[in-house]
Amino acid sequence: MIQKLNLLLDQLESHLEDFEETNPIVSTATIGWQIDHSFLVINEVVIHIKKSNPKEYKWKFNKNRFLVQTLLRKIPRGKVRAPKGVQSFEEITLEYLRRQLEITRNNIAELETLEAKNYFVHPFMGYLNLKTTVDFLELHTKHHLKIIEDILRIS
C-alpha cells in the first residue's frame, strides 16, 4: 500500500540539492518549500489518521473527493492555499530537509499498522479512510513534484 508513496519520497529526495531553486513564473516558493510542504502534509495526516477511531468512520459522498480522486486524478494548481499548519516557518536547509525526510519515511511506514477504517478528515474532501488517505497523499505529492519539475524545466 505504501510502495508508491515511498517511490514518490525517493523522487523528492532526488531534488534535495535543488532546494534553493525558484522560478516566479511557476511558483513564488522555492523547491525546498515544495519538498518541505509535501513532508509536512504527509506527517500531519499520519498524526491525524493514527489518532482516529475506526469505529467513528463515516463515509459520505463528497463531490470534491470524487472529482480529484476519480475523475481528474490530480490536484488542480492554484485553487487552494496551503493551510498554516502545513507551511514551514523553519529555515529550510539541506540538513533540515534530510531530517524531515527521515521523519516522513518513518511516518509512512506506520500507515501499514493502521486499520482500513482509520480516517483523516480533509477540509475539502471530507472523510478519507486509510486507502483514500494514501491515495490523496500520492496525488498531493505528485502535484508538488510536478511543480518542482516545472521550476527546473523553465529555469
Determine the pLDDT at residue 89.
73
Determine the pLDDT at residue 138.
98
Determine the pLDDT at residue 155.
61
DSSP 23-89: BTTTBSS-HHHHHHHHHHHHHHHHHHHHH--GGG------HHHHIIIIII-SPPTTSSPPPGGGS--
Determine the pLDDT at residue 120.
96
Low-confidence ranges of the chain (pLDDT < 70): 155
